[in-house]
Structure 1
Amino acid sequence: MTQSSPNPTTLLRQCLKLAQEVSTHPQANEEFSQLREGIAATNPQAAELMDILWQEVIAARRSAEFWHEMSNVEKDLSNRMMENMAQLRQNYLRLMQEM
């Protein structure tokens, strides 16, 4: 039996799925390169367009990951500030009771 090459649409979906996580970007890029080579053989202009779109996908995912991390840092900072405020309030109430 001969093994047929996967459908380009299926390959692109696999690449996009891998691109969802920054940690799998190297594998996603490798699979995308293989997909691109197959398309470039028949349609060089389509391959160029795919390159542009792929770079945008990767940049968008990295940006989303960055802002997600920033959001987590901001959340942690907010939580610590609230804890500090509660502690200060308790300290103030204790000080007032001692007077």
Structure 2
Amino acid sequence: MILIVETARELMEVLMKEIQSLEDELKTQDSLQEAKKQIEAINQELESINLYLVKRKTDKLRKDIRWFTKERAYPYLSDKYYTNQQQNVPEQD
């Protein structure tokens, strides 16, 4: 009878350790799932920030292109510039 009680106690201790191990594993899996959710949220945030930065860079490039076209390139592209240049060219004999 004492042997049965001791065996039952040992079995109970082994089962308690196994239960504790399984609980720890579940906590780890839960924390991993929570970490995955946080990583996904961070990735979405980074993607929105990246899109915002790309939009700002694109807007700045558009503005720079408009400025360059208006201030620098347009005078050379206009008909007035070419007609003035043709008038200033000395005639060749």
The normalised TM-score by structure 2 is 0.59
Structure 1 residue runs of 4+, over 2 Å off?
A: none
Deviation of the 1:41 alpha carbon: 7.9
Q: Counterparts of 1:19-98 in structure 2 under 5 Å?
A: 43-98=4-59
Aligned to 2:83: none
Counterpart of 1:87, as a letter, is S
Aligned residues: 60
Counterpart of 2:25, as a letter, is A
Structure 1: any 5+ residue segments left out of the alignment?
1-39
- Asked which structure has the greater RCO (Cα within 8 Å, sep 6+), the reply is 1
Larger radius of gyration: 2
Q: Report the Cα distance in structure 2 between the residues aligned to 1:95 and 1:57, rounded to whole angstroms.
A: 56
Deviation of the 1:68 alpha carbon: 0.4
**Percentage of identical aligned residues:** 5
Q: Report the Cα distance in structure 2 between the residues aligned to 1:93 and 1:41, rounded to whole angstroms.
A: 77
Q: RMSD between aligned alpha carbons?
A: 1.7
Deviation of the 1:81 alpha carbon: 0.9
Deviation of the 1:42 alpha carbon: 6.6
The normalised TM-score by structure 1 is 0.55
Structure 2: any 5+ residue segments left out of the alignment?
61-93
